[in-house]
Amino acid sequence: ATNVVLISQWTAATAGGCHLFHPPYEINPKNQTWKRNPKFLLTVYETIHITITLARLDKPWRKTVAQDNVGAMMAFYVLRGTEIDIRHIEAETPFLPGHENSLELTLDVTDDNVPHTILCCTYQPGKLGDFMLRLSTNH
């Protein structure tokens, strides 16, 4: 089994909110912030079954969650390729108010070994803090 844990954060520059902050839902380019979220590239050389988990620690997030439980909900999207566009979403989690969100899926090899992109976000933009992304597979 292979387990990889990546530590990252949503910053003022990268806390872009959910896909509703992207065309066609958001028309104003100034508010099209979804694509700013932290991205992780995953190149697959054979079909794999993988569990992806987005997690954050309770204590540092307690105040943010208390102030805006819905806005602080978190989720992630898996996109085919590196262009951040809702047309390329392969899989996504629901937005959950807790501190862990997981998805089991099968990823196939992409054309020309183009990577899959994992895009992590909170529901509303501007929710700042650390998070972890764990990838687990039996390959």
Mean pLDDT, the chain, rounded, equals 95
Contact 8, 116 (CB under 8 A): no
Q: Can you read off the two tokens belonging to residue 79? A: 């996109």
pLDDT in tens, 105-133: 999 887 787 999 999 999 999 999 999 99
User: What is the number of residues in the chain?
Assistant: 139
Task: Give the pLDDT score at 113.
Answer: 79
pTM: 0.95
What span, in angstroms and rounded, lies between the C-alpha atoms of 73 and 101? 10
Task: Give the pLDDT score at 1.
Answer: 78
What span, in angstroms and rounded, lies between the C-alpha atoms of 88 and 9? 24
Query: Which whole number is the average pLDDT over 53-81?
Result: 96
